[in-house]
Amino acid sequence: MTLQEMGLQAKHAALPLQKIDSKTKSAGLLAIADALRSHASRILEANQKDVEAFVQKNGKSAMVDRLTLTKERIEEMARGVEKVESLPDPIGEVTGMIKRPNGLVIGTKRVPLGVIGIIYEARPNVTVDAAALCLKTANACILRGGSEAILSNSVLVDVMTEALDAVGFPKGCLQLVRDTSRETARELMRLSPYLDVLIPRGSKGLIRSVVENATVPVIETGAGNCHVYVERTADFSMATDIFVNAKTSRPSVCNACESLLVDEAIAKELLPIIAEAVKPYQVEIRGCEKTCAILPEAVMASEEDYYTEYNDFIVSVKVVADIEEAIDHINEHGSRHSEAIITRDYAMANRFLEEIDAAAVYVNASTRFTDGNEFGYGAEIGISTQKLHARGPMGLTALTSTKHIIYGNGQIR
Amino acid sequence: MTLQEMGLQAKHAALPLQKIDSKTKSAGLLAIADALRSHASRILEANQKDVEAFVQKNGKSAMVDRLTLTKERIEEMARGVEKVESLPDPIGEVTGMIKRPNGLVIGTKRVPLGVIGIIYEARPNVTVDAAALCLKTANACILRGGSEAILSNSVLVDVMTEALDAVGFPKGCLQLVRDTSRETARELMRLSPYLDVLIPRGSKGLIRSVVENATVPVIETGAGNCHVYVERTADFSMATDIFVNAKTSRPSVCNACESLLVDEAIAKELLPIIAEAVKPYQVEIRGCEKTCAILPEAVMASEEDYYTEYNDFIVSVKVVADIEEAIDHINEHGSRHSEAIITRDYAMANRFLEEIDAAAVYVNASTRFTDGNEFGYGAEIGISTQKLHARGPMGLTALTSTKHIIYGNGQIR
């Protein structure tokens, strides 16, 4: 099937899908969870072939773990689908209704986006995750995973489609692009007549390519060059705990800290404490001149370092004169994802909250909390780093749009 | 100045602009209104040169009226700015705050988008309108109008900038691209590091070019292939009044009706009444076979006609079997802008509201009401026909984003 045909089929599935009631949507999601469990061996078999092919081609790398499924991971995926099923259905809610002087009654109703394209990389669990979130919000979806996981993804989509068919979901509401050439990715990005939105999930390179090439509206996700700024009045032990957590608890994720800023007034005292605290994690410290003068283990940071998302046990450190320099530095170098200040000063806290331009701005907490579950959304399709439509962790409502419904009795203008 | 330099200047203006309080923002807008009035002759002089150059090049056309300013039109622009000033300031509002089980308090705060680019065509009033809406929402803006209005736009931006400087607005918060070559438009569409959003206002061709080429997130506006569907139970007189209004009150605008659908059961009786009612407006009727059999004055419509936004005294007409055919036809041919059903049947009204995929769906009212002022927003930057971020008429809040502000006391994850 060509992408055009897939797009047309998805578009035709969108309206019947929207008309399915919440109860049937739940039945479909629960059927998916059951099917994942009962077809676990079929899924594992396909996944093993993907993993073998990957290792043969690339050798062993961190990617292998991301690609590999196990019985436990399939159980996790099934539970994830059940969790999405249990969330309230956002579709159909009328979020406001006004009456105009001419008698027109205008309501704003939450509706699906329509057809969502999702482009992602190695992890096969995204296939299930994205499908569940799209179906819960009555969106048809076209998934395009990476070539490394194509056999796993194909079986996952087959298993899910069989489950949905049995419950009476419209044909074409969930589709996988099985040709994983670069050309199909490109074509999907420009499938404007059929796709309402495109969401890339994955590496910086992938996201940049989507932004560069897409004609379909994109929700940009991902890059996180997050800072922890320790202001001079900070509690040292709190600052240390938060930095260690933000840097080391899971350095590969986007809400991990990449850069530490410390007020000059406390740098001499605080930096050695922090350096000691991260020693067990063998964190490489790349600092400014002042940092290097204080910490013998630090190496000189380049300007480039301050723009870098390491996703690793490396941190850039800069000693700043005051909050003004800290805010300027963050707004210049950050990726507008998550930024934290550690302080005991009321005015400093407020100034930081006000002036930092980012999806999530923290006072006295770890940047690691920027996450749909931690924010209470119950699920997450990604973390938006753009300012349109959705910003920060995206839950179910980020997959919806609105329409105006207008009740008249003959009004003309 | 290069576009890169303009972008950098706008980005640097964004934060100080956001920090300006509502009172000062109001002072700036009122200063603009005053300046427009007191520099009316300077503006008219420049505009006259634009008009002369345009007529010399293109002869007299409908465009000349759109391009021409008069003392009255300048007064209208000034009043428009005063109206924007009088609206509530949306920036800074915290629209929700929750407390998580771990004690984190998470608020959602309304913030400016940052830097907005606006690409538009002949009308110089858009220059003032767009500037006022952007400044009210504390967004820096880079305007890029058409070459026909370059002298008018230059003077308008000079006059506004002088007024803002006197009130202490940051340099670079309002800028005009004075080189109106195609290259600068292209470059603006790809000014990703500096622009947060791009809004095109104008012809289909302009909007398509922006969607095709932009790397900056775009809010698509504009195209309106709007339908009036007369269901068999409709009151004939209401149906006629609404159709005549939707088609003829201002055919050049996007919320005007372009296509009429009539249930077969009533077509023979209703179509002649409607044809009679639009006779004074000399509306050309392009119909399906059944329409042409009923109306001798109708000419045959091509399939292309049903996709066409005429913006003129022309209408396509189709006789449909029932509401199902009407809904399918509209979802296939419409531009998802504004759609109306005329009916007395409760179930038909609800089905139409539910199943039509458009920004505004009407029961028993004219499509002409899709407008920021008519919807009670007090102002309008355009009508979004996409599903992301904003759908339908966009008021001030469409020019805002949100950020999460998180109050902790040492939380780590």
Has residue B61 got a pLDDT over 80?
no
d(CA A101, CA A207): 47
Give the confidence band of B56 by pLDDT, cuts at 50, 70, 90.
very high
Under 8 Å between Cβ of A9 and A142: no
Q: What is the pLDDT of residue A25?
A: 97
Joined tokens for residue B234: 């409709």
- Tell me, what's the pLDDT at A222? 76
Nearest CA in chain B to A401: B387
Mean of the per-residue pLDDT values of chain B: 95
Section A6-30 average pLDDT: 96
Residues B362-379 have a mean pLDDT of 94
Distance (Å) from the alpha carbon of A45 to chain B's nearest alpha carbon: 35
pLDDT at A223 (0 to 100)? 84
> How many CB atoms are closer than 10 A to CB A125?
17
Structure confidence at residue A404 (pLDDT): 98
Query: Quick check: B397 pLDDT over 80?
Result: yes
Per-residue pLDDT tens over the stretch A176-191: 999 999 999 999 999 9
Report the residue of A339, A350, A351, A388 to disrupt the B interface, i.e. the one with the largest count of B CBs within 10 Å. Answer: A388
A212 → chain B, closest CA residue:
B215
- Residue B75 pLDDT greater than 90, yes or no: yes
Which is it for strands A284-287 and B226-230: parallel, antiparallel or unpaired? unpaired
Q: What is the structure's pLDDT at A221?
A: 87
Rounded (10°) CA dihedral A36, A42, A45, A47 = -40
Q: pLDDT category, A243, cuts 50, 70, 90?
A: very high
pLDDT band at A402 (very low <50, low <70, confident <90, very high): very high
Chain B residues touching residue A389 (CB < 8 angstroms): 388-389
Per the CB < 8 A criterion, the answer to whether B164 and B1 are in contact is no
pLDDT in tens, B278-308: 999 999 999 999 999 999 999 999 999 999 9
For residue B320, is pLDDT > 90? yes
Longest CA–CA separation in chain B, Å: 80
The answer for residues whose C-beta is within 8 angstroms of residue B74's C-beta and 6 or more apart is B36, B37, B40, B43, B44
Beta-carbon contacts of residue A311 (< 8 Å; ≥ 6 apart): A251, A252, A253, A256
Question: SS3 string of B348-363?
Answer: HHHHHHHHCCCCEEEE
Tokens 């077809």: give the residue: A39
Question: Nearest 5°: phi and psi at B155?
Answer: -65, -40
Contact B403 A361 (CB under 8 A): yes
What are the tens digits of pLDDT across the range A36-88? 999 999 999 999 999 999 999 988 777 898 899 999 999 999 999 999 999 99
Q: Is the pLDDT of residue B65 over 90?
A: no
Residue A219 near residue A401, CB atoms below 8 Å: no
Mean pLDDT computed over B20-33: 97
Give per-residue pLDDT as tens, B200-247.
Answer: 988 888 888 998 999 999 998 878 999 999 999 999 999 999 999 999
Q: Do A375 and B197 touch (CB under 8 A)?
A: no
More confidently predicted of A240 and A59: A240
**pLDDT at position B59:** 85
- Secondary structure class of A195 (helix, strand, coil): coil
Residues B75-95 have a mean pLDDT of 96
Give the Å distances, CA to CA, from A282 to A178, A248, A309, A312, A315.
Answer: 42, 10, 18, 11, 11
Q: Which residues of chain A make contact with B242, given a CB cutoff of 8 A? A: 410, 412
Rounded to a whole number of angstroms, the distance from the CA of B293 to the nearest CA of chain A is: 29
CA separation for the pair A266, A339 (Å, rounded): 20
Check B403 against A360: CB less than 8 A apart: yes
Choose among A113, A242, A401: nearest Cβ to B410: A242
The per-type count for chain B, helices as H runs and strands as E runs, is 14, 16
Partner residue facing B412 (CB), from A14, A245, A406: A245
- Name chain B contacts of A196, Cβ cutoff 8 Å: 386-388
- Given an 8 Å threshold on Cβ–Cβ distance, is B404 in contact with A410? no
Question: Nearest chain A Cα to B336, which residue?
Answer: A403
Residue of chain A whose Cα is closest to the Cα of B406 = A362
pTM of the complete model? 0.92
User: According to the model, what pLDDT value does residue B205 have?
Assistant: 87
User: Is the CA virtual torsion B29, B175, B55, B382 positive or negative?
Assistant: negative
Residues of A in contact with B387 (CB under 8 A): 113-114, 196-197, 217, 401
Pick the residue with more confidence: A123 or A292? A292
Q: Nearest 5°: CA angle at A321, between A318 and A326?
A: 60
Quote the pLDDT of residue B223.
Answer: 84
- pLDDT for B62 equals 73
Give the burial string for B211-237 (b: 16+ CB within 10 Å, else e).
Answer: beebbbbbbbbbbbbbbbbbbbebbee
- On the 0-12 / 13-18 / 19+ scale of CB atoms within 10 A, A206 is middle
Can you name the residues that pair with A338 across neighbouring β-strands? A360
- The mean per-residue pLDDT over the stretch A295-313 comes to 96
Mean of pLDDT over chain A: 95
What is the reported pLDDT for A324?
A: 97
pLDDT value for A121: 87
**What pLDDT digit, counting tens, does each position of A344-391 carry?**
999 999 999 999 999 999 999 999 999 999 999 988 899 999 999 999
Alpha-carbon distance of A7 to A209, in angstroms, equals 21
- Chain A CA closest to residue B92: A354
Sign of CA dihedral B353, B354, B356, B357: positive
Q: In 3-state terms, what secondary structure has residue A170?
A: coil
Burial label for A191, CB within 10 Å (0-12, 13-18, 19+), is buried
Q: Which of B217, B362, B391 sits opposite A388 (nearest CB)?
A: B217
8 A C-beta contact, residue B185 and residue B349 = no
Contact list, B402 vs chain A (CB under 8 Å): 391
- pLDDT value for B54: 94
For A142-161, what is the mean pLDDT? 97
Mutate to test the interface with A, among B278, B307, B350, B405 (most CBs of A within 10 A): B405
What's the rounded Cα separation, in Å, for the pair A398 and A139? 12
C-alpha dihedral, B288 to B293 to B298 to B301, nearest 10°: 20
Q: A365, B242: Cβ pair inside 8 Å? A: no
The answer on pLDDT for A202 being more than 90 is no
Average pLDDT over residues A192-217: 91
pLDDT of residue A65: 87
Residue A359 to residue B404, Cβ atoms within 8 A: yes
Q: Which residue has the higher pLDDT, A204 or B260?
A: B260
